[in-house]
Amino acid sequence: MGKQTIRERIPAFASILGLLALIAAYYIVGLIRDANVAYGLKAVVNQSVVVALVATGAVFIYTLGSFDISLGAATGVSALLGAMAYNATGSLPVMFLVCIGVAVAIGFINSSLASVFNLPIFVTTVAMMSVLSAFMLILIGWNGAGDTIKVKARDVRPLDNIPFKVAVLAAYIALCWFVFTLLPTGREAKFIGGNPVCAKLSGIDEKKLAIIASLISAIGIGLGAFLTIVYAPTLNKDTASSIGMDVIIAIVFGGMPVSGGPRSRILSAVVGAFSMGFLSQIMSMLNLGSGYGQMIKAAIFLLVVFIALGSQRGKLLTR
């Protein structure tokens, strides 16, 4: 093993360098445009924290080489049922427990279906996404209060502050980091993602790990659902709808390979989620318009992934 040159090391830090560059760009653009940088920073945290929570948990699923597209719909259903529980009981702890409980139940159904019936996880989650999105419509219909389910804003306002949200995120990251880094679960998940055949022959129970990964991810979904209600207490059919795709983008943006395996890292999700948050805020400050803003976002996303891939490109096309 020779010493790595700076050029060889760049890909490993591309995502973090990307985040630092975006933070710098955010301050520079804010200065040039004379924007309220502190207010924008609050918006970045509010936008990014839910994606970061869901994406951090999803790292376990992605590490296994699996893929879950139903995370956004699961967050939406958890939030709707949590809000309904709050309206019925007036208790924030009950709302919190319902958010977590519903997310765990959905995660368990998802992973059990895939494990027991040997279904391809991606297609199972596509089906689950349809079912959950439809269930959101049914829940809103049942509630009988128009197109929304509302929690009184003043009831959740005490929790709608940055320190609380950052504390929730930090606690969850610490839990995931502990499980992923210090317990055999993380090592086994990386092994399965890197070489499933070899992992199976070594006696690692793939089905059990898939269920554990879904359950850990479900806690992130439940926390994300809870903070969604706290931030935007008027929920509708589109609540959290974009989170499923945002999570994939965040994980890849954060430098983790979508195929999982040994290069998976818990912090990728947080780096990616905040990179996206800063990028959106920069686009908003530049006032480019939604279309051009999204085009630039897409180009930067592809550029960061391209740099992060580094020298891993082979002779054959990647599949």
Residues near another protein, by CB under 8 A: 113, 117-120, 123-124, 126-131, 133-135, 137-138, 141, 242, 245, 248-249, 252, 257-259, 289-299, 301-302, 305-306, 309, 313-319
- Residue 43 CB, shortest distance to another protein, in Å, is 16
Q: Tell me whether residue 185 or residue 228 sits nearer to another protein (CB atom).
A: 228
Minimal distance in Å, beta carbon 83 to another protein? 19
Per-residue tokens: 131 = 């079912």
**DSSP code, position 158:** G
Closest CA to 103 of 134, 118, 86, 82: 82
Q: CA-CA distance, 239 to 77, in Å (whole number)?
A: 9
Other beta carbons less than 10 A from residue 74's beta carbon: 31
Question: What is the rounded distance in angstroms from the CA atom of residue 71 to the CA atom of residue 56?
Answer: 12
Is the CB of residue 67 less than 8 Å from the CB of residue 122? yes
Q: In the complex with another protein, which residue's Cβ is closer, 172 or 301?
A: 301
Please, how many CA atoms are within 13 Å of residue 212, restricted to the half-sphere of its CB? 18
Nearer to another protein, 127 or 170 (CB): 127
- In whole angstroms, the minimum distance from the beta carbon of 275 to another protein comes to 14
DSSP per position, 131-167 = HHHHHHHHHHHHHTSTT-EE--HHHHGGG-SHHHHHH
Nearest to another protein of 187, 297 (CB atom) = 297
Q: How far is the CB of 246 from another protein (least distance, A)?
A: 8
Between 125 and 185, name the residue whose CB sits nearer to another protein.
125
Least gap, CB of 72 to another protein (angstroms): 10
| CA pair distance 121, 111, nearest whole angstrom | 8
Distance between CA 118 and CA 58 in Å, rounded?
20
Rounded-to-10 torsion of CA 123, 126, 130, 136: 130
Q: Which residues contact 109 (CB under 8 A, 6 or more apart)?
A: 128
At closest approach, how far in Å is the CB of 287 from another protein?
A: 14
Query: Closer to another protein at the Cβ: 5 or 118?
Result: 118
Smallest separation, CB 141 to another protein (Å): 8
Nearer to another protein, 56 or 70 (CB): 70
